[in-house]
Amino acid sequence: MTKDMTSGNSLKLIISFCIPMILGNLLQQLYSMVDAIIVGKCIDLNALAAVGATGSICFLVIGFATGICSGFCILVSQEYGANNYSKMRKYVANSFWLSCIIAVILTVLTLIFTRPLLELMKTPDDIIQQAYEYLFMIFAGLAVTIFYNLLASILRALGDSRSPLIFLGIASVINIILDYVFIKFFNMGVAGAGLATVIAQGISTVLCFIYMRKKFDILSFEKDELAFSIKDSGKLMSIGVPMALQYSITAIGSITLQTAINNLGTVYVAAVTAAQKIQMIAQGPMECLGTAMATYCGQNRGARKYERITKGLKQSIAVSIMYCIVACAVLIAFGRYISLLFIDKNDVDVINYAMYYIKINSVTFPLLGVLFIIRNSLQGLGYSLLPMMAGFTELIARVGVVVLAVGTYGFTAVCFASPIAWLMADVLLFIIMLCKFPELKRELEGKPDSSYIPVADN
């Protein structure tokens, strides 16, 4: 079912929209944790480190795909908020055509360049082959990842955050079962974990597509609405590409940081892998609140409701900061015990390094929470190029730490890299918001223009 976020209690709508996404993210992160536990316990510590060493590359590629799909659906949400359903369907159709092209290009490129990139990152010799096998499986099935993200983004653009949760839950259960079967009984190693992910996501994609065809009358296409349009595709790309590049730019910074971690040795790689698995669960609600704000702002921009946009923005920032304080306290108190799920209790150094990383990052969670809210809100309003500048800022910060500090301060510098990046990005986003919101107010509170095109960058 669709959800209109242009009327009613703003905070209640945002939270109710956000809760299914949080549960879905929790499922995804719990799967990721179980996956790491199965890999770490059923294979060995090197296998865990190998999968962890692929994280930044996965973020680079899958983040690009996720970003471009989310960008396409900004226009879908804006046209839905403006009650322009025919135009909305044209954007949905062209999103599918573009996703087909992107899936082919990304699959070919990733399969060719995965091994050279792992070598460029100085992945330790004792884990590089396993890392390559895992990535090869993931990237061979990249098309299903792209189409699942597109379908889920369309549902969320229409206000339905519950259905993606159900399909994600199904995928997570299938994934965990296949993980254990492929690794424990078929001795497929980390490649089995990658194959399990692709199969599970493929099933989820098919179910999601069938559900949309049967339940969403608003997505019943006329023949002319299915045609490929250069003009509509250009508008989609004008928002989708900057959002995709923002993910990729951030990922390049993460790859640079991962290279520095790889140079420190397998113990540090394993520690950061475990710490990030734990940290990602805590970050999930922040990210979901930001995603909810993208839909909320997109629909309300289409409905030309400026005051409602600013009210929701302030409320979501307050909620995010309160959550971050609680999450920090929980991680500091219980992080060591949670880390034992991934790490053998005898690997004392790995546990200590993981906790050091968790403590430094969790204390600065409010910076990340605010970053998610403002960045996604600006994207939902159509300002796709400007948040990308914040991605460049994060890249500069992480590269700066690697170049200037890791050689002197070692692992401590690695732990501070992300918090410094979040802070610098926040400062820039606040400046952008202060500059753009007066302009947005004049536009939305002025006389409606029938020729309005919901693309805001200039």
Q: What is the mean pLDDT of residues 23-36?
A: 75
Q: How many Å apart are CA 132 and CA 408, to the nearest integer? A: 31
Report yes or no on 317 lying in a domain. Answer: yes
Mean pLDDT, the chain, as a whole number? 87
Backbone angles phi, psi at 127, to 5 degrees: -130, -5
pTM (two decimals): 0.75
| Domain encompassing residue 374 | 10-444
Query: What count of Cα atoms within 13 Å lies in the side-chain half-sphere of residue 114?
Result: 23
Residue with tokens 């999450």: 327
Report yes or no on 198 lying in a domain. Answer: yes
Cβ atoms of residues 144 and 208 within 8 Å: no
Report yes or no on 456 lying in a domain. Answer: no
Cβ atoms of residues 71 and 242 within 8 Å: yes
Number of structural domains found in the chain? 1
Cα Rg of the chain, angstroms:
21
DSSP letter for each residue of 99-116 = HHHHHHHHHHHHHHHHHH
pLDDT tens digits, one per residue of 226-277 = 999 999 999 999 888 888 887 788 778 878 888 888 888 888 988 888 898 8
Greatest mean pLDDT range, 49-63, 189-203, 433-447 = 189-203
Report yes or no on 56 lying in a domain. Answer: yes
Greatest mean pLDDT range, 73-87, 204-218, 237-251, 417-431 = 417-431
Report yes or no on 326 lying in a domain. Answer: yes
pLDDT tens digits, one per residue of 105-151 = 999 999 999 999 999 888 888 889 999 999 999 999 999 999 999 99
Q: How many Å apart are CA 319 and CA 17, to the nearest integer? A: 14
Single-letter residue type at 59: F
Report yes or no on 137 lying in a domain. Answer: yes
Task: Decide: residue 224, CB within 10 A, 0-12 exposed, 13-18 middle, 19+ buried.
Answer: exposed
Q: What is the mean pLDDT of residues 393-410?
A: 89
Report yes or no on 197 lying in a domain. Answer: yes
Cβ atoms of residues 339 and 278 within 8 Å: yes
- The residues, any chain, with a CB within 8 Å of residue 314's CB and separated by 6 or more, are none
Percent of the chain with pLDDT over 90: 40
- The residues, any chain, with a CB within 8 Å of residue 104's CB and separated by 6 or more, are 143
pLDDT tens digits, one per residue of 71-89 = 898 889 888 888 899 999 9
Confidence of residue 363 (pLDDT cuts 50, 70, 90): very high
Give the pLDDT of residue 451. Answer: 38
Q: What is the mean pLDDT of residues 282-289?
A: 90
Which parts of 265-384 fold into alpha helices (H)? 266-302, 306-339, 348-363, 365-380
Report yes or no on 449 lying in a domain. Answer: no
Residue 321, Cβ neighbours under 10 Å: how many?
Answer: 16
